[in-house]
Amino acid sequence: MSAPHTRVILITGAGRGLGRALALHLAAPDTLLLLHHHQSRMGAQDVARQAQAQGARTLLLAADLADAAARTCLMQEAAAATPHLNVLINNVGVYEEVGLGEIEPAAWARVLEVTCNAVQHLIHAAWPLLAAGAPARVINLGDSAADRITARTTATHYHAAKLGVHLLTRSYAKLLGPQGITVNQVSPGFLEGSIGEPGSAVPLGRLGRHADILGAVDYLLSPQAAYVSGANLLVSGGWNL
């Protein structure tokens, strides 16, 4: 069980990519990091070792977020480890570059399940822990293109899921605000090392870096953002506006 003064942070998809960068960035003494992973078990173990070297305590939580029962188990394990949660970062999202005409129903359902439905499920299941940890913060990873409806003939399932995440961000901000829980969204543009090509120029002249996203997360977790809820912070270098 975590001590009352421990800052408890749950990050999904912490074994690689942005989730890994977030975990290492937030690892500090008096912090308990709940590090979710699915296939990147060794990556998550490595993150845990490094986070511990930075003074944090860690707990690995494995779950296939496409599976509602596994999501329930994940939150039960979290609740067994801590009576409160200060920060929930819904980082997991699945991008598959497939044309709308080729998307199989099962692939559509899986991408929606992992990228959108899991966000709803985890916020809902974490609600009592977040209320116990208030003032608490939820940050969802969105996508800079998902603040409006634009026709998408590639990765349509991903874009539909991120539109759903945007709606969830605003809706949960309204629902959870009275309990001292803010809910915000950080929406990357095109990050270095990602699949595909940006397709159009980035006004600020370069692709996004993990450090750009970490800066936005720092702001949303800071005292300066105490009155910010339901916001969608685009961190895209002006791409795709």
Ligand X SMILES: NC(=O)c1ccc[n+]([C@@H]2O[C@H](COP(=O)([O-])OP(=O)(O)OC[C@H]3O[C@@H](n4cnc5c(N)ncnc54)[C@H](OP(=O)(O)O)[C@@H]3O)[C@@H](O)[C@H]2O)c1
227 catalytic residue (yes or no): no
Interface with ligand X includes 237 (CB under 6 A)? no
Interface with ligand X includes 13 (CB under 6 A)? yes
Helix or strand (DSSP H, E) at 183? strand 181-188
Q: Measuring CA to CA, which residue among 188, 175, 189 is closest to residue 229?
A: 175
Provide, rounded to whole angstroms, the least separation between the CB of residue 161 and ligand X.
8
**Residues between 40 and 59 that touch ligand X (CB under 6 A):** 40
Nearer to ligand X, 112 or 130 (CB): 112
Q: Please give the Cα distance from 80 to 10 (Å, whole number).
A: 13
Can you tell me which of 3, 39, 203, 206 binds ligand X, judged by CB under 6 A?
Answer: 39
Q: Measuring CA to CA, which residue among 187, 233, 188, 238 is closest to residue 208?
A: 188
Can you tell me which of 11, 85, 92, 129 binds ligand X, judged by CB under 6 A?
Answer: 92
Can you tell me which of 2, 58, 86, 91 binds ligand X, judged by CB under 6 A?
Answer: 91
The identity of residue 196, as a single letter, is G
The stretch near ligand X (CB under 6 A) out of 34-42, 74-82, 122-130, 224-232 is 34-42
Can you tell me which of 108, 127, 172, 190 binds ligand X, judged by CB under 6 A?
Answer: 190
Interface with ligand X includes 194 (CB under 6 A)? yes
Q: Measuring CA to CA, which residue among 69, 67, 166 is closest to residue 113?
A: 67
Provide, rounded to whole angstroms, the least separation between the CB of residue 241 and ligand X.
14
Can you tell me which of 64, 77, 96, 147 binds ligand X, judged by CB under 6 A?
Answer: 64
Report the length, in residues, of the chain.
241
Give residue for tokens 């408890």. Answer: 8
Residue-wise DSSP of 124-167:
HHHHHHHHHT-SEEEEEE--TTTTS----SBSHHHHHHHHHHHH
Residue 30, helix vs strand vs coil: coil
Can you tell me which of 18, 51, 181, 217 binds ligand X, judged by CB under 6 A?
Answer: 18
Six-digit token string for 26: 């937030």
Interface with ligand X includes 117 (CB under 6 A)? no
Can you tell me which of 11, 33, 56, 66 binds ligand X, judged by CB under 6 A?
Answer: 66
Q: For the CA atoms of 143, 22, 81, 129, what is the dihedral angle to 10 degrees?
A: -40
Of 158, 172, 219, 227, which is the active-site residue? 158
Burial of 50 (0-12, 13-18, 19+ CB in 10 A): middle
Interface with ligand X includes 19 (CB under 6 A)? yes
Interface with ligand X includes 191 (CB under 6 A)? yes
| Residue numbers annotated as active site | 158
- Binding residues vs ligand X (CB under 6 A): 13, 15-19, 37-40, 64-66, 91-95, 114, 141, 143, 188, 190-191, 194
